[in-house]
Structure 1
Amino acid sequence: MQDYAELSVLLIDPSQAMRTNLRGMLNQAGIVRVDDALSAGTAIRQISKKQYDIILCEYDLSGGVGDGGQDGQQLLEDLRLHDILSRWSIFFMLTSEGAYSKVVSAAELAPNDYILKPFTLEILMQRIARAIGRRTAFTPVYQLLDQGMVREAIAATRAGEGSHPRLATEFGRLRADLHFSLGELAEAELIYHTILAGRPIGWAHLGLARCQFGTGRYDEAVLTLDKLISQNPKFMAAYDLLARTHEALGQPAQAKRVLEEAVAISPHMVHRLRHLGTVAYDAGDPAVSEKAFKQVVAKAKYSEFRDPEDHVNLVKALIKKGDPNQAGGVIRDLERSLRGNDNLEACRAISSALLLESMGNGNAAISELNAAVAAVYGARGLSRRIRLGLVDSCLQYKLDKDAAGVVIGMMNDDNDALSLEDAVGVFEKAGRHDLARGVGETVNLQVGELLDSAASQMEQGDHKSAVSTLSLALRKAPNNLPVLYATIGAMVRQLDELGWEAGTGEQAGVLLQRLGRMDGDNEEFDRLVQQYSGTQRKYGISTTA
């Protein structure tokens, strides 16, 4: 038997007897670095602090303590969505659960394996050996990605195909995903077409549709996804993208239908239920929206990442449905069950304002809107949808200063910055041309000040500070050509004078592609491309994928 003494393992199971049995199996195989977690919450905290080679997770965590109400599927969903699970970690789902819908829900999250209990030591070690072997083959790629060297990682996938021909398709898939992450959709699409020429594979069809969606070819994406679902009706990610595509085409009713079909097949995915609730609300179906968000609130009850926005959305659905009494109960549950959450006060005040407005109590609604605006400034990670809804409510009550303040705050959000064009569009849509003009003037003034500051930093030789300043300006005005030229130019100069940095180099390349689409015929663009290529050659950076 292969030596696995250095492997670290986390056992997630509320049953002490099962953990003891699993530990015994692993010890027989020479694996002794084993930690325990009794619940999803405990597991998340441990995985956040330590990278495990192998995670063996029981599907049914209901027998645990504390937050034992969360199951293994919901745990894996949290780990994936919040980017906690390392690419190095191998996740096995263990279960005796026979309910088909739950099996589908768990399988679509792509654990490394799904093992039905009872199983023997031999079966467990066969699965571990297979997963470890695959990880070893991908190690050179993973190491480069950990260093932020995406372009070099792409080249390593080609080498991996030659060294491990049995994994050639998987290396091709990873290479396409990496091109996609760099915004190189044409390159990714070519890889997917090449793979599909050999044999029809569901994820390759999905990848092709993602490229079509990313390039705005929504009708093509619909055809690709419809075909994929007809051939493989249990390929759940296809439903999600198809719904998004219908939304992009302005077809909320079709998007709702697609998501309802998906939830009927796989009813336990919180992110999909949340999407269904939002789409149903937009499609004018508050009953479906209410049902979906009730399930979201219930299923997320034991998650480490409970989101008070789910309560806000449930309140909105109940108000639209005409049930203020139940909406009030949801607000009380929000206050009681999410104490200590950074976004509680903002979501409570927004919900209360909506309820008071529906009851015709305008003065009290204004008071809550004032509280909501104050709380938004101290909140973290509030969605664009929630904040824009607050802006609409403020405009309705002529709280112009508050509305403009929230929008400006959104434009300064490092994680999800609202562009100048989008900000102006918010007020234009509301018929407030005066506010649109005022916000535009304010942002243009801020961008001009940032450009001046960056120029001064460049003159002083502080290239990194200049790049940081210009990146902030670019977030405010992503389609501003002078800002785009200045940002790329500063990045190239930093790379040329201070040495190549993979992250900055990749970012400059992506921005150059954006600039090429916007202003590719300009001689200044050609000079910038030549400077970038010259810097790559100077430091021996390969320019081929």
Structure 2
Amino acid sequence: MAFRGYNKLKVLVLDDFDSFRMTVAKMLDSFGVKSIDTASSGEEALRMCQGGSYDLILSDFNLGAGRSGLQVLEELRHRGILRKRDVFVLVSAETSKSIVLAATDAEPDAYLSKPITARALQQRLDRVLSQRDQLQEVYKALDNGDVDTAIHDCYEKINSGHRLSGFCQKILGELLLEVNQLDEAEALYRSVLEIRSLDWAQLGMAKVQQLKGDLETAERWFKEVVEQHPLCLKAYDNLVEVYQTLEAKDAMQDVLMEAVKVSPLALLRQEKLAQVSATNGDFETSVRAYRKVVRLADKSIHKKSSQALEFAHSLVRLGEQDPSAAKDVHREALRVLDEASTNSDDAVYNMQSKLVQAQLLSQQGNTKAANQILDSFRQTLNKLEEPVPLEVELDFVKALGMTGVKAEVKDRLNELSVRLKDDEEGLKKLDQLLDEPMSKMNRKLVAKINKDGIKNYESKNFKAAISAFMHAKSLFPNHVGVRLNLVQSLLGEMEEYGCERELMDEAIGSLNKVTESIDAQHPQFKRFRQLQEIHRSLVLRNA
């Protein structure tokens, strides 16, 4: 259906090449458009959009060194500049699957591949703009925040058999979910699915069950959508929400890993994967995801200095688990932290950033540079009238421990333990640095993991026991009991099935770690010595 209102449109054409802007402007002029502005960069386009709204924005995906067209779309939406009735069209010469999926994931109103002809452009614009024109009452109500009127208008068009009634059903379902009219939404989606199995209706039905609290049914529906429509990325996101409510963190990570395989350029999804995998103790996955986050965040509205810090934190934890896996990433993390600090005026963040840099330098073996940072931080502490935030204290203690300042570490941990004795959330953070957790939640968690691991050990299912204690070690790297349980399980596996190099190295690593914090007065010192002897005997036997 031809669109008749081109002469009333205000249009912005965004591309870094003059020739393309001129070509598209001429095409639009031939359609009857009278008001055409152009911009050569994302930054310029954002300034222009702030100065006045556009009915139609045509943007290239790749805009050179600045923001991409996709980032412009995200920022316009995030800042509430783009109205519901406005049309945003992405144009791109990119043909890679990841770029195309990133573009469709952002849901522009249309996506066109270069080169484009006047005929192809007009056909696509006719379709999108005619749809907007016929539903102008609905979009006007939404722009005014009048959801009830928008719902009423959708019902009217559906009941009258309007040619866009199917599209109105999709809008109506989303609005009913927004205002929590769940029974009405469920009836709508059922009526659609009785005729045709559409992904958006299946997704809506799953969302209804999720909001009603029937998580088992919601999970089943979302899984079905993912299976039947693997490019429907909202289904992955909603499934993650279900598992988050169920506190099924491993399942959350599995779904997120599948989602980023489908669309690897989605920054927020990568960030969620990085956070969840770090919580699960899978720091290799966390570091890999945070590296992508830091790169994708450049020029994005979703860029935060904390992303660089969490990237470095995960890398330090990975270095504790597997120094060889972290080694090649240290330089990149140090550069990212330095850049973030340079662009930040947050004093707390900058202190924390320096302390994490000290940790990374220690892992590199550059203790001289690490100690220079620590000396400078001590001087800063002496000048401050108020105590620094807990996160800064924890990074300071960690850096001290990594540079071998054991006495100062012990004193500061004792001070923090006393200060936080009634602060459960603070204790949960402190637990990472303690030999034994102090928070109620982490004591229960360690007890459960130990119970499961010991049960597997006693039934000679050593691999399962090792897996349980490895997970516990990733969460509580200084926990003496967990380390010794892991060593005992490794020794059981080696005695039963032979001394593999990987198992021996893991046992040596854990015994060496325990050596750093145990003495003759420790209640597990005798057991530690016994495990050392068993390990030594196994090594000699297999020499």
- TM-score class, shorter-chain normalisation, is 0.5 to 0.7
- Please give the alpha-carbon distance, in whole angstroms, between the structure 1 residues aligned to 2:352 and 2:420: 13
- Please give the alpha-carbon distance, in whole angstroms, between the structure 1 residues aligned to 2:290 and 2:385: 24
The answer as to 2:25 corresponding to 1:23 is yes
Matches within 5 A, 1:148-167: 148-162=145-159, 165-167=162-164
Partner of 1:9: 11
Partner of 1:108: 105
Matches within 5 A, 1:200-219: 200-219=197-216
Cα 1:368–1:29 change in 2 (3 A) is: farther
Partner of 1:76: 73
Matches within 5 A, 1:3-402: 3-62=5-64, 67-68=65-66, 70-162=67-159, 165-322=162-319, 323=326, 330=333, 333-337=336-340, 339=342, 341=344, 344-353=346-355
Equivalent residue letter for 2:108: P
- Please give the alpha-carbon distance, in whole angstroms, between the structure 2 residues aligned to 1:266 and 1:372: 46
- Please give the alpha-carbon distance, in whole angstroms, between the structure 1 residues aligned to 2:23 and 2:417: 64
**Cα offsets for 1:481-531 (capped at 9, x unmatched):** xxxxxxxxxxxxxxxxxxxxxxxxxxxxxxxxxxxxxxxxxxxxxxxxxxx
Equivalent residue letter for 1:347: Y
Cα 1:210–1:429 change in 2 (3 A) is: farther
- Flag the structure with larger Rg: 2
- Please give the alpha-carbon distance, in whole angstroms, between the structure 2 residues aligned to 1:132 and 1:403: 60
Cα 1:356–1:334 change in 2 (3 A) is: closer
Q: TM-score by structure 1 length?
A: 0.64
Alignment check: 8 A CA contact 1:176 1:192 kept: yes
Equivalent residue letter for 2:41: S
**Cα offsets for 1:90-119 (capped at 9, x unmatched):** 111112222122212211221111112222
Equivalent residue letter for 1:155: H
Cα 1:403–1:429 change in 2 (3 A) is: closer
- Please give the alpha-carbon distance, in whole angstroms, between the structure 2 residues aligned to 1:104 and 1:150: 30
- Please give the alpha-carbon distance, in whole angstroms, between the structure 2 residues aligned to 1:200 and 1:392: 53
Alignment check: 8 A CA contact 1:328 1:355 kept: no
Contiguous gaps of at least 5 residues in structure 1: 377-386, 405-422, 434-545
Per-residue deviation, 1:123? 1.9
Cα 1:432–1:262 change in 2 (3 A) is: closer
SS in 1 for 2:20: helix
- Please give the alpha-carbon distance, in whole angstroms, between the structure 2 residues aligned to 1:368 and 1:211: 54
Alignment check: 8 A CA contact 2:189 2:205 kept: yes
- Please give the alpha-carbon distance, in whole angstroms, between the structure 1 residues aligned to 2:111 and 2:23: 18
Alignment check: 8 A CA contact 2:348 2:392 kept: no
- Please give the alpha-carbon distance, in whole angstroms, between the structure 2 residues aligned to 1:373 and 1:162: 69
Equivalent residue letter for 2:199: G
Per-residue deviation, 1:153? 2.2
- Size of the aligned set, in residue pairs, is 399
SS in 2 for 1:289: helix
Alignment check: 8 A CA contact 1:225 1:238 kept: yes
Partner of 1:382: none
Per-residue deviation, 1:152? 2.4
Alignment check: 8 A CA contact 1:92 1:113 kept: yes
Per-residue deviation, 1:13? 0.8
Partner of 1:540: none
Cα 1:231–1:41 change in 2 (3 A) is: same
SS in 1 for 2:303: coil
Cα 1:20–1:163 change in 2 (3 A) is: farther
Per-residue deviation, 1:375? 12
Alignment check: 8 A CA contact 1:334 1:348 kept: no
- Please give the alpha-carbon distance, in whole angstroms, between the structure 2 residues aligned to 1:59 and 1:44: 15
- Please give the alpha-carbon distance, in whole angstroms, between the structure 1 residues aligned to 2:413 and 2:163: 61
- Please give the alpha-carbon distance, in whole angstroms, between the structure 2 residues aligned to 1:54 and 1:117: 18
SS in 2 for 1:86: coil
Which of the pair has the greater relative contact order for Cα pairs under 8 Å at 6+ separation? 1
Equivalent residue letter for 1:295: K
Cα 1:398–1:73 change in 2 (3 A) is: farther
Q: TM-score by structure 2 length?
A: 0.64
User: What is the aligned-residue identity percentage?
Assistant: 27
SS in 2 for 1:114: strand
- Please give the alpha-carbon distance, in whole angstroms, between the structure 1 residues aligned to 2:193 and 2:207: 15
- Please give the alpha-carbon distance, in whole angstroms, between the structure 1 residues aligned to 2:205 and 2:233: 16
- Please give the alpha-carbon distance, in whole angstroms, between the structure 1 residues aligned to 2:383 and 2:186: 48
- Please give the alpha-carbon distance, in whole angstroms, between the structure 2 residues aligned to 1:166 and 1:372: 69
Moved more, 346-355 or 108-117: 346-355
Matches within 5 A, 1:331-480: 333-337=336-340, 339=342, 341=344, 344-353=346-355, 426=425
SS in 2 for 1:165: coil
Alignment check: 8 A CA contact 1:350 1:390 kept: yes
Per-residue deviation, 1:87? 0.9
Alignment check: 8 A CA contact 2:53 2:81 kept: no
Alignment check: 8 A CA contact 1:107 1:114 kept: yes
Cα 1:130–1:357 change in 2 (3 A) is: same
- Please give the alpha-carbon distance, in whole angstroms, between the structure 2 residues aligned to 1:338 and 1:135: 45
- Please give the alpha-carbon distance, in whole angstroms, between the structure 1 residues aligned to 2:384 and 2:328: 21
Partner of 1:418: none
Alignment check: 8 A CA contact 2:69 2:90 kept: yes
- Please give the alpha-carbon distance, in whole angstroms, between the structure 2 residues aligned to 1:341 and 1:184: 44
SS in 1 for 2:258: helix
SS in 2 for 1:166: coil
Equivalent residue letter for 1:145: L
Cα 1:426–1:30 change in 2 (3 A) is: same
Cα 1:265–1:425 change in 2 (3 A) is: same
Alignment check: 8 A CA contact 1:12 1:36 kept: yes
- Please give the alpha-carbon distance, in whole angstroms, between the structure 2 residues aligned to 1:428 and 1:374: 20
- Please give the alpha-carbon distance, in whole angstroms, between the structure 2 residues aligned to 1:107 and 1:365: 47
Contiguous gaps of at least 5 residues in structure 2: 320-325, 363-369, 397-411, 430-437, 441-543
- Please give the alpha-carbon distance, in whole angstroms, between the structure 2 residues aligned to 1:256 and 1:235: 18
